[in-house]
């Protein structure tokens, strides 16, 4: 009958929502599925391996604080300028709301964490970008914090290391964000003139204005495997040249092949290689 | 007039009407002189009104006008003894950037600028003024040469941006731009940059780090084109007009934000309506007094002042530490 049809339809509208208690049965985040090979593994083991897949070597994105934990001697990292906050210089619609949302979501104030710390005994100044906050985009705060971290390295005469992860300039700050490319590069130039060592480690993704400024200005430019690195977006290039791009276009490996990088280094070996570089750059060497 | 823009439509219409009346006075047996005079007065007022109240989007159109003077138009007017120098010594010669040596009021200088074409044929040769890495590397080679001989560097900025292409990426577009910005920041001679048309993002900044940044009245300078911003922010490229207003890209906006040091005036309606000589004279005047301020400075003063100039750019606030409990500590 017609009436039956309606009841049948009505029934279909219900979906099963697991109760809170059901959800607790499987602790959240116990297992993680690899974004590369789709295999499932214990989150703890993945964390222990610096978020590099145990099966296929896929590098999952790290937060800035995870990076710090994996790199520095415990308790040696001192953060600077974490109280520097973005404002809305152009009065851009919804910008402050977006910032607030990311502050909560990413538990950080801005897209870069800066400070000094010890890596196996070597003092360094670092800036670590985090793409979980506004895609790691660079506005006034990111530019200023990186500049101050470079100046700090200059003051203390220690190497400067930058981990980049950014979609580029932050549109909502317009020309001010573009000018951060000049500000940070000027600081690097001055640091470099005084003999300072700059190491850039490009992680996924490093594009646009960040790739076209400090990311490319290391004495040694490294990248993590599979990281997307480039100036213009893939879609824009395809539209411009009406040509399909190779699959590995703008990957770390592609850049290495074209002479744009010193080395592609797996995260599992990164610390060891960094220590190697730092050792070689101790003024006058270490006489044994 | 040919080449009039959308926002100038009322002026075009009125001018057409005046021309018709003039024609009528000649051919028919009526005297409309008084009427014509009245309309001409009104045309003048209308022009004042429209050109004084140009919206950012109107200026974008003027900055992109095909007849707008380019770097190579200005060079012979502003400088003497110009000799173009080619090539980056690594790969090729990128004609989207012209560069060379010249004298300005008797002083040796190095001149570098983006070069776009005015018609399709020239635009293909010049790649629409969108450089490849070799263009930026040529510019850098000549800046370092200028540094060696103590010559000031004058840069003309006029590009939609660095070329987004496969070959450009392969040859290190990012590195080329980054290296120019880096080296310009520390160059030991005065650098004056003049935005004469569009200043498009990193591709403009790669010739744009200097001691003085001057902008022609109707030029624009932005982190992304209005079309690009609209597509990115509102997923709709047709919102470009709105983006042009929101992004603050006009010379007047940039002066207000402290990015630009001086605005060089243009004729009513834009540089393409001016006599080229007059526009070049306005540029010359600005260059002259900028150089007058910079030439007496020592090398270290120049580099330090440039550093301070860029260090100051940016807006942020400092929050008290105790409010930061939500942030994880390590």
Give the nearest partner residue to B315 out of A176, A229, A240, using CB atoms.
A176
Confidence of residue B137 (pLDDT cuts 50, 70, 90): very high
Closest residue by Cα to residue A91 from A180, A172, A175: A172
Q: Give Cα A59 to chain centroid, integer Å.
A: 12
Distance, CA of A215 to CA of A203 (rounded, Å) = 10
Contacts of A128 in chain B (CB under 8 A): none
CB contact (8 A) between residue B307 and residue A185? no
- Are A137 and A98 within 8 A, CB to CB? no
Supply the pLDDT for residue A27: 57
pLDDT by residue for chain A (288 residues), tens digit each? 556 555 555 555 566 665 555 544 545 689 999 999 999 999 999 999 999 999 999 999 999 999 999 999 999 999 999 999 999 999 999 999 999 999 999 999 999 999 999 999 999 999 999 999 999 999 999 999 999 999 999 999 999 999 999 999 999 999 999 999 999 999 999 999 999 999 999 999 999 999 999 999 999 999 999 999 999 988 889 888 888 899 999 999 999 999 999 999 999 999 999 999 999 999 876 676
Give yes or no for residue B217 having a pLDDT over 70.
yes
Contacts of A189 in chain B (CB under 8 A): 182-183, 185-186
Supply the pLDDT for residue A201: 98
Tracing tokens 């851009």 back to the chain, one arrives at A92
Average pLDDT along chain B = 93
Contacts of A176 in chain B (CB under 8 A): 257, 259, 313-315
CB contact (8 A) between residue A189 and residue B183? yes
- Nearest residue on chain A to B175, alpha-carbon basis: A216
Going through chain A in order, the beta strands assigned E by DSSP cover 31-33, 40-42, 78-80, 84-86, 112-119, 122-129, 160-166, 198-207, 220-223, 229-230, 263-264
pLDDT tens, B86-102?
A: 999 999 999 999 999 99
Contacts of B233 in chain A (CB under 8 A): 171
Give yes or no for residue B205 having a pLDDT over 50.
yes
What ipTM describes this predicted complex? 0.93
Taking CA atoms, A6 is separated from A12, A67, A166, B214, in Å, by 10, 57, 52, 72
CB contact (8 A) between residue B169 and residue A171? no
CB atoms within 10 A of CB A70: 15
Angle between helix A267-280 and helix A64-71 axes, rounded to 10 deg: 60
Distance, CA of A280 to CA of A262 (rounded, Å) = 16
pLDDT tens, B226-252?
A: 988 888 888 887 889 999 999 999 999
What number is the average pLDDT over the span B170-198? 98
Residues pairing with B103 in the sheet: B80, B108
Supply the pLDDT for residue A24: 47
Contacts of B307 in chain A (CB under 8 A): 186-187, 190
CB contact (8 A) between residue B229 and residue A180? no
Distance, CA of A83 to CA of A81 (rounded, Å) = 5
CB contact (8 A) between residue B249 and residue A259? no
Distance, CA of B110 to CA of B100 (rounded, Å) = 6
Residues 6 or more apart in contact with residue A276 via CB below 8 angstroms: none
Closest residue by Cα to residue B54 from B257, B259, B245, B282: B245
Kindly write down the DSSP assignment for every residue of A148-194, as one continuous string: HHHHHHHHHT--EEEEEEE-SB-GGGHHHHHHHHHHHHHHHHHHHHT
Nearest-Cα distance to chain A for B316, in Å, is 5
CB contact (8 A) between residue A237 and residue B222? no
Binding residues of A: 34, 37, 53, 56
Give the nearest partner residue to A171 out of B175, B223, B259, using CB atoms.
B223
CB contact (8 A) between residue A217 and residue B179? yes
CB contact (8 A) between residue B326 and residue A104? yes
- Are B147 and B185 within 8 A, CB to CB? no
Give the nearest partner residue to A217 out of B178, B233, B323, using CB atoms.
B178
Give the nearest partner residue to A83 out of B171, B307, B324, using CB atoms.
B324
Supply the pLDDT for residue A12: 52
CB contact (8 A) between residue B320 and residue A215? no
**What pTM, to 2 d.p., does this model score?**
0.91
- Nearest residue on chain A to B311, alpha-carbon basis: A183
Distance, CA of B244 to CA of B107 (rounded, Å) = 39
Contacts of A187 in chain B (CB under 8 A): 307, 311
Tracing tokens 């580099």 back to the chain, one arrives at B303
- Nearest residue on chain A to B322, alpha-carbon basis: A83
My answer on whether omega of the bond before A205 falls inside 30° of 0, hence cis, is yes
Give the nearest partner residue to A181 out of B172, B205, B257, using CB atoms.
B205
Cα dihedral A266, A269, A274, A275, rounded to 10, equals 180
Tracing tokens 């309309």 back to the chain, one arrives at B39
- Mapping DSSP to helix (H, G, I), strand (E, B) and coil, where does residue A132 land? coil
Nearest-Cα distance to chain A for B94, in Å, is 18
Give yes or no for residue B145 having a pLDDT over 80.
yes
- Which of A91, A112, A146, A179 to mutate against chain B (most B CBs within 10 Å)? A179
A253 CB burial (10 A radius; 0-12, 13-18, 19+): middle
Give the tokens for residue A210.
């960040």
- Mapping DSSP to helix (H, G, I), strand (E, B) and coil, where does residue B40 land? helix
Give the tokens for residue B206.
């790669």
Distance, CA of A146 to CA of A131 (rounded, Å) = 15
- Nearest residue on chain B to A191, alpha-carbon basis: B186
Give the tokens for residue A24.
């607790």
- Which of B202, B230, B308 to mutate against chain A (most A CBs within 10 Å)? B202
Residue/partner pairs of B142-146 with CB below 8 Å, 24 or more apart? B142/B85, B142/B99, B142/B100, B142/B101, B142/B110, B142/B112, B143/B110, B143/B112, B143/B180, B143/B183, B143/B184, B143/B187, B143/B191, B144/B183, B144/B187, B145/B110, B146/B109, B146/B110, B146/B187, B146/B189
Give yes or no for residue B326 having a pLDDT over 70.
no
What number is the average pLDDT over the span B108-127? 96
- Nearest residue on chain A to B309, alpha-carbon basis: A183
Closest residue by Cα to residue B130 from B176, B163, B171, B152: B163
- Mapping DSSP to helix (H, G, I), strand (E, B) and coil, where does residue A228 land? strand
CB contact (8 A) between residue A241 and residue B165? yes
Distance, CA of B246 to CA of A227 (rounded, Å) = 33
């Amino acid at each position: 009958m017609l009436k039956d049809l309606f009841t049948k339809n009505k029934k279909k509208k219900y979906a099963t929502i697991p109760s809170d208690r059901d959800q607790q049965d499987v602790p959240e985040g116990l297992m993680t599925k690899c974004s590369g090979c789709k295999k499932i593994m214990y989150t703890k083991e993945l964390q222990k391996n610096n978020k590099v897949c145990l099966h296929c070597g896929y590098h999952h994105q790290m937060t800035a604080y995870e990076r710090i934990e994996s790199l520095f001697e415990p308790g040696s990292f001192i953060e600077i300028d974490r109280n520097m906050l973005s404002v809305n210089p152009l009065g851009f619609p919804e910008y402050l709301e977006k910032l607030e949302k990311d502050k909560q979501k990413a538990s950080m104030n801005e897209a870069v964490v800066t400070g000094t710390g010890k890596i196996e005994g070597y003092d360094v100044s670092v800036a670590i970008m985090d793409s979980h906050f506004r895609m790691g985009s660079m506005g006034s705060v990111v530019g200023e914090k990186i500049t101050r971290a470079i100046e700090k390295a200059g003051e203390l005469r220690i190497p400067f290391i930058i981990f980049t992860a950014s979609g580029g300039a932050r549109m909502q700050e317009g020309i001010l964000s573009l000018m951060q490319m000049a500000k940070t590069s000027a600081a690097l130039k001055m640091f470099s003139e005084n003999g300072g060592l700059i190491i850039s480690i490009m992680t996924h993704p490093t594009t646009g204005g960040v790739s076209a400024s400090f990311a490319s200005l290391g004495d040694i430019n490294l990248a993590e495997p599979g990281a997307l690195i480039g100036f213009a977006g893939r879609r824009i290039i395809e539209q411009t040249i009406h040509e399909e791009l190779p699959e590995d276009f703008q990957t770390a490996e592609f850049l290495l092949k074209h002479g744009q990088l010193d080395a592609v280094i797996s995260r599992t070996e990164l610390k060891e290689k960094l220590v190697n570089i730092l050792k070689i750059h101790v003024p006058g060497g270490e006489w044994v | 007039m040919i080449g009039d823009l959308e926002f100038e439509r009322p002026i075009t219409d009125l001018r057409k009407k005046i021309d018709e009346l003039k024609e009528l006075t000649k051919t028919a047996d009526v005297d409309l002189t008084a009427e014509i005079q009245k309309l001409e007065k009104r045309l003048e007022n209308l022009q004042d009104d429209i050109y004084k109240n140009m919206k950012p989007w109107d200026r974008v159109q003027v900055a992109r006008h095909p007849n707008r003077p380019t770097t190579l138009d200005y060079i012979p007017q502003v400088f003497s003894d110009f000799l173009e120098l080619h090539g980056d010594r690594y790969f090729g010669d990128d004609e989207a950037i012209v560069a060379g040596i010249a004298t300005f009021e008797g002083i040796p200088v190095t001149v570098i600028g983006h070069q776009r074409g005015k018609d399709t044929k020239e635009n293909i040769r010049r790649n629409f003024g969108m450089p490849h890495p070799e263009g930026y590397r040529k510019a850098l080679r000549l800046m370092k040469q200028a540094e060696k001989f103590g010559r000031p560097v004058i840069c003309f900025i006029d590009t939609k941006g660095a070329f987004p292409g496969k070959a450009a990426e392969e040859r290190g577009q990012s590195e080329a731009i980054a290296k120019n910005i880096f080296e310009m920041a520390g160059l030991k001679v005065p650098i004056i940059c003049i935005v004469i048309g569009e200043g498009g993002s990193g591709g403009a900044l790669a010739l744009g780090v200097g001691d003085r940044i001057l902008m022609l009245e109707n030029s624009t300078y932005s982190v992304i084109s209005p079309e690009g911003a609209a597509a990115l922010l509102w997923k709709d490229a047709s919102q470009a007009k709105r983006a042009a207003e929101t992004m603050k890209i006009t010379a007047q906006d940039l002066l207000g934000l402290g990015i630009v040091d001086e605005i060089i005036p243009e004729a009513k309606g834009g540089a393409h309506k001016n006599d080229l000589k007059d526009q070049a004279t306005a540029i010359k005047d600005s260059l002259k007094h900028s150089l007058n301020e910079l030439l007496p400075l020592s090398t270290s003063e120049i580099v330090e002042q440039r550093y301070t100039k860029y260090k100051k750019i940016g807006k942020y606030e400092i929050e008290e530490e105790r409010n930061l409990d939500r942030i994880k500590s390590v």
